[in-house]
Amino acid sequence: MNTRNLAIAITVLIVASTLAAYFFLTPKGTSIEMTTDKQTFTAGEYIEITLKITNHDRETKIYDMSPPAFEMLIYHENGTLWTKYTEGQAFPEIYIRKELKQGESYQEEYIWNLYKYDESTFDFIRPQHGIYLLEGVLRSEPETKTEKIQLEIEPRPKIKP
């Protein structure tokens, strides 16, 4: 094989691998991310949670949502559901239409102490100390979920009399 043919073959391989990476490795559809300001905190303490969706499709995507746009689920370390953010709360019945072009994002910030609503007493129950898993979900597309984030709730300090 002469030098010219070798250069052409290498160029074709580079272009083909670049196209393959673009089509197979570039995210498509909607991605969702979640961050927290801390992952270890005391029972009853509030944490800040940010959830963000990004449109990776070439065309503009329309998201029809009602507040809150995201649901947050708290699981015990063994995988059983402890509570949902929306339990025991009321939200306005309005719709929000978000149009996101390729690469555009939309995010919401929440402050939550992970309390669980008790329908029998109409009260909120503080979680016990231990390991929990936090998952975010886009409510209008329930299959769009975040990776679970591990949270550690430490016991409340004892108050000395």
CATH number at residue 91: 2.60.40.2360
Using CA atoms, how far residue 110 sits from 39, 60, 84, 142, in Å, is 15, 26, 13, 19
Query: What are the structure tokens assigned to 53, written together?
Result: 């969706």
Residue 16 lies in a domain: no
Task: Mark 27-57 as b/e (b = at least 16 C-beta within 10 Å).
Answer: eeebebebeeeeeebebeeebebebbbbbee
**Cα atoms in the Cβ-side hemisphere of radius 13 Å centred on 111:** 3
Full domain range(s) for residue 126 = 27-154
Residue 4 lies in a domain: no
Question: Mean pLDDT score of the chain, rounded to an integer?
Answer: 88
| Whether the predicted pLDDT of 74 surpasses 90 | yes
Residue 126 lies in a domain: yes
Residue 9 lies in a domain: no
Supply the pTM of this predicted model: 0.79
Residue 13 lies in a domain: no
Mean pLDDT, to the nearest integer, of 66-72?
A: 94
Total domain count for the chain? 1
Residue 40 lies in a domain: yes
